[in-house]
Amino acid sequence: MSPDIPDLPEVADPTTARTVASSRLPRGPGKVVEAIPASLRGLYPPIEPFESGMLDVGNGHRIYWERCGNPKGKPAVFLHGGPGGGCSSEHRRLFDPAKYCITLFDQRGCGRSLPHASLDYNTTWDLVDDIEALRTKFGYARWLVFGGSWGSTLALAYAQAHVDRVSELIVRGIFTVRREEVHWYYQKGASWLFPDRWEKFLAPIPLEERGDLMRAYQKRLTHRDEAVRVEAARAWSMWEGSTITLLPDDQLADAFGDPHYAIAFARIENHYFVHDGFLKPNQLIGGAHVLRDVPGVIVQGRYDIATPARTAWDLHKAWPEADFYWAPDAGHAFSEPTILHWLIESTDRFGAD
C-alpha cells in the first residue's frame, strides 16, 4: 500500500515535529513477538488519585481529570476507548504506581465530564487540544502516551501532531477510523461471526434503513424522544460489549447496557464514525512515519473482532521501529490475559528508563 500522505492537522507544525523527532537517536526495526508467556503479568494493586479536578476547555465543556501514583514519577497519560467510554479505576493499574505519575481523564461528553453525552465541539482535534491543555497544566515537557482501541486513534493523532511532546507511545487494539474498519464492525463483516448478536443490533432499525446503519442509528441517537435514544444506545453499546472478548463475558456486556453509560458511548461513537473520525482518509497510517524515532509498542489481539488485526499490521508496516506483540489467544479487550501481560511489560520497561 502506497497511500498519499496527507498533511498533519493545523494543531502542529509538521516541520518542527519532524526536526525534533529526527534529533533523537535513530532506531532500528522493532521486534515482532507472538507468544503466550508461561507466567502472565496482571494489573497493579488498586490505587486512588492523589488529586483530581475539572478543567474548563471552553465552549461549555469541562473535563474530569485525575492523577495517580508517584507525584514525582515519570509522566504518563492514559487515553480511554470509545470514543465515549470514560476511564475506570482499572486503567490506573496499568502502570507501576511507584514509578509513574499517571494522568487519566474522561474525554468530552463522557464519564464524569460535562455536559454528559454532548456532541457539540466534540471532535478528534478538540480532544488533542485537551491533552495538550492537561500537559501544559501539569508542566510536563514530555510524557508517555498510552491508548487502546479508540484511545489508540487519539494517541496516534496526538503523537503525530505533537511528536516532540511524546517520550514513548503504547497503543493497543489499533483503530484508525478508516471507512473499511467502521464498515466491517457496523455494517456487515462482523455480523457473519455473531449472527445472533447482530440481530439484536439490527432490532431498532427498520428493514428499509439497514443499507446505512451509521445514519440510521444517528437519527435515533439524536432523536427528541428519550425512549428512542435509550433503545438505540443500548443496542449499539451492547453489540460492542458482547463481541470484544474472545470468550463470552456476560458481565461486561451487561455493563455496556447501562443506560447512562450507553447514551454517551453510543451517541459519541456514532458521531465520530459518521464523520470518519474527523480525519483525512488514511491519515494516521499515512502519517506514522513521523513516529519513527519515538520508542513504541503495538499490542494486538489476533482474534480482535472490533478492531481487526489488519489495521495493526498496517501500522506496523508504516512504523516498523515499534515493537509489535501479538496476543494469539485474545480478542479486543485490554483485560484479556495475554494482552494485559504485554501492556504491563511495556509500561514496566519504559518506567525503568
Active site residues per annotation: 149, 304, 332
Strand partners, 298: 171, 324
Question: Residue 333 in contact with residue 304, Cβ under 8 Å?
Answer: no
> By three-state DSSP, how is residue 53 classified?
strand
- Written as nine digits, the cell of 160 is 503525530
- Would residue 149 be called left, alpha or beta, if left means φ above 0 and alpha means ψ between -120 and 50 degrees? left
| Amino acid (1-letter code) at residue 238 | M
How many residues in the chain?
A: 353
Give the separation between CA 206 and CA 166, rounded to whole angstroms: 46
> By three-state DSSP, how is residue 323 classified?
strand
Strand partners, 326: 34, 300
For residues 33, 35, 39, 42, the Cα torsion angle rounded to the nearest 10 degrees is: 70
CA distances from 263 to 140, 222, 236 (A): 34, 10, 9
End-to-end distance of the chain based on CA atoms, in angstroms? 35
- List the one residue out of 92, 112, 105 whose CA is nearest residue 131: 105
Q: What is the CA radius of gyration of the chain?
A: 19
Neighbouring C-alpha atoms within 13 Å toward the C-beta of 333: 16
- CA 178, distance to chain mean position in Å, is 14
Dihedral pair phi/psi, residue 40, rounded to 5°? -95, 135
Give the separation between CA 238 and CA 224, rounded to whole angstroms: 22
